[in-house]
Structure 1
Amino acid sequence: MTTATATDQTLAPRPAGGPLQAAHDSLVVAKRNLIRMLRIPEVVIFGLIQPIMFVVLFSYVFGGAIPVPGQHGSDPSVYRNYLMAGIFAQTVTFATAGAGAGIADDMHKGLIDRFRSLPMARGAVLTGRTIADLVQTALTVVVLSIVAVIVGWRVHNGVFDTLAAFGLLLLLGYAFSWIGALIGLSVRTPEAATSGGLIWLFPLTFISNAFVPTSNMPSFLRTIADWNPFSATVQACRQLFGNPTGIVSHAWPMQHPAWASLIWSVVIVLVFRTWSVHKYRTAAA
């Protein structure tokens, strides 16, 4: 019994140590996922259609019906500029469902078991997947920005502020992709991962300042919205883009939205990456 156990441990592949090796393994997995995305272009195309539909529908259906506090008149272009930060944030967070479904699909097909048999860093499989999802999200944001400009969205601050806003958006999307990774590891099928990845995103995005000002919400909902990490990112982007912000709450995240967004995203990455990698290792045991 002891001899057999020792033999198994000797034959089992051991990952090479060090952060550089872990980074290399993560990039290899990311490349694999990006190649797969290119071979299935409909996944990317469908991922682009939904945010474009939101831009068009909200801009032209609700644009003249929702006034922005602090802005005079009911010019639809004012609401379009107010709206776009929310659409951007919604787009990067909704990628969470795709991340979870992808990992659940790999688990379902046994691909994760093949990775486990290789001498690679344990967290590389999940890190590589989230990096690939981040690249896809960045592509979606670029296309969405072009559509936004077509419907009348404009940036009024400098290039540095604009890039900082997009950086906060992508960081939030990357943070949420780790929540998707945890969901994908926790369910049995890709369908369950898709449902589980979306069901909590709707209240997160709609109980926020993304689409309407929070000033008319009940007090308890406004408090939730003000401390929502999603709201902090939206508010930070509006300020950095130079777009209308509406009535700003006295809550700390709304007074310092860029810092709040950064802190929220880093905390989410640290917590859910640790949790996801632990779950991956536990499942591998």
Structure 2
Amino acid sequence: MNALNLAVADGITIAKRNALKIRRAPDLLGGVIMLPTVFVLLFTFVFGSMVDLPGISYGEYLLPGIFVMTIVTSGQITGYTLTLDLQKGIFDRFRTLPMSPSAVLTGQTVSDVIMNVTSIVTMALVGLLVGWRINGSPMEAVLGFLMLILFSYAFSWVTATVALALRTPEVFNNVATILSFPLVFLSNAFVDSARLPGPLRLIAEWNPVSTLVQGARELFGNTSPAIPRPTAWPLQHAVPVSLLWSVVLLVVFVPLATRLYKRAVSR
């Protein structure tokens, strides 16, 4: 068996291990199913009753932003799980096995894709129940979901890199929360970025979260001709730029996370 086949086989084994761990951990399953449900219901009924948008309900405008917010917050599970395995010495056990060094990270991120798919499906079903609709074509809707899943996979590698650099669950949770909140709230997930003041508007318009949210809105048909189109270049080309962001994140953080993992297990 060549090195590539070995890496793939080892990655599948680790992904199965993590998937079994998710199934046997009620708190993780609750986070995957219950948290997105609460997000959809809370933001739709609380904010939806206070925000009026021309030509579209706030619930339809909001739900793509909730999709992306959940992806960003769920991505922290990758880092938290890795820091727990580091703390418990699981990596030391893996080091004694004849397995590919990249398999642990590949398996972890693939299992997190399963969680994110479950979370997105849950949010979509709850959203349909509370009035959200896909107004685009079926092919555009499929592309929208695939774009979200690809970004969630790429973002898992970002959190894996941060986790391997910090190495402890407590520190990682604090840093991840500090980083993820501005990433989500300084975006167009909840309000039009054009309404933000000067510097904050510039940050929001070039924020990859804003680009992903705008791309999802366009593909799901959750836009209104009565709302002016964004003027910033990333938001005018939201779908291709979102796909480009995912590729860039993978190109940068896959080798970086792998290097940090090798350094962690060699100590």
Q: TM-score normalised to the size of structure 1?
A: 0.88
Superposed CA offset, 1:126-149 (max 9, x none): 110000011011011111111101
Structure 2 residue runs without a partner (length 5+): none
Query: Do the aligned partners of 1:96 and 1:180 also contact (CA within 8 Å) in 2?
Result: yes
Deviation at 1:188, TM superposition (A): 3.7
The answer for the alignment partner of 1:39 in structure 2 is 24
> Which letter maps to 1:152?
G
Query: Do the aligned partners of 1:97 and 1:196 also contact (CA within 8 Å) in 2?
Result: no
1:233 matched to 2:218: no
- Structure 2 Cα separation of the partners of residues 118 and 63 of structure 1: 53
Deviation at 1:56, TM superposition (A): 1.4
Of 21, 43, 61 in structure 2, the residue corresponding to residue 58 of structure 1 is 43
- Structure 1 Cα separation of the partners of residues 122 and 264 of structure 2: 38
- Structure 2 Cα separation of the partners of residues 202 and 181 of structure 1: 18
Query: Do the aligned partners of 1:104 and 1:189 also contact (CA within 8 Å) in 2?
Result: yes
Deviation at 1:28, TM superposition (A): 0.8
Of 231, 239, 259 in structure 2, the residue corresponding to residue 250 of structure 1 is 231
- Structure 1 Cα separation of the partners of residues 51 and 71 of structure 2: 24
Query: Do the aligned partners of 1:82 and 1:243 also contact (CA within 8 Å) in 2?
Result: yes
The answer for the alignment partner of 2:131 in structure 1 is 152
The answer for the alignment partner of 2:182 in structure 1 is 203
Q: Name the count of aligned residue pairs.
A: 264
Deviation at 1:248, TM superposition (A): 2.5
- Structure 2 Cα separation of the partners of residues 192 and 174 of structure 1: 23
Deviation at 1:97, TM superposition (A): 1.4
- Structure 2 Cα separation of the partners of residues 252 and 121 of structure 1: 41
Of 118, 125, 131 in structure 2, the residue corresponding to residue 139 of structure 1 is 118
Structure 1 residue runs without a partner (length 5+): 1-15
Deviation at 1:78, TM superposition (A): 0.7
Which shows bigger deviation, 55-64 or 150-159? 55-64
Deviation at 1:17, TM superposition (A): 4.5
Deviation at 1:196, TM superposition (A): 2.2
1:217 matched to 2:192: no
Query: Do the aligned partners of 1:54 and 1:87 also contact (CA within 8 Å) in 2?
Result: yes
Which shows bigger deviation, 49-58 or 114-123? 49-58
- Structure 2 Cα separation of the partners of residues 48 and 154 of structure 1: 20
Of 230, 253, 267 in structure 2, the residue corresponding to residue 272 of structure 1 is 253
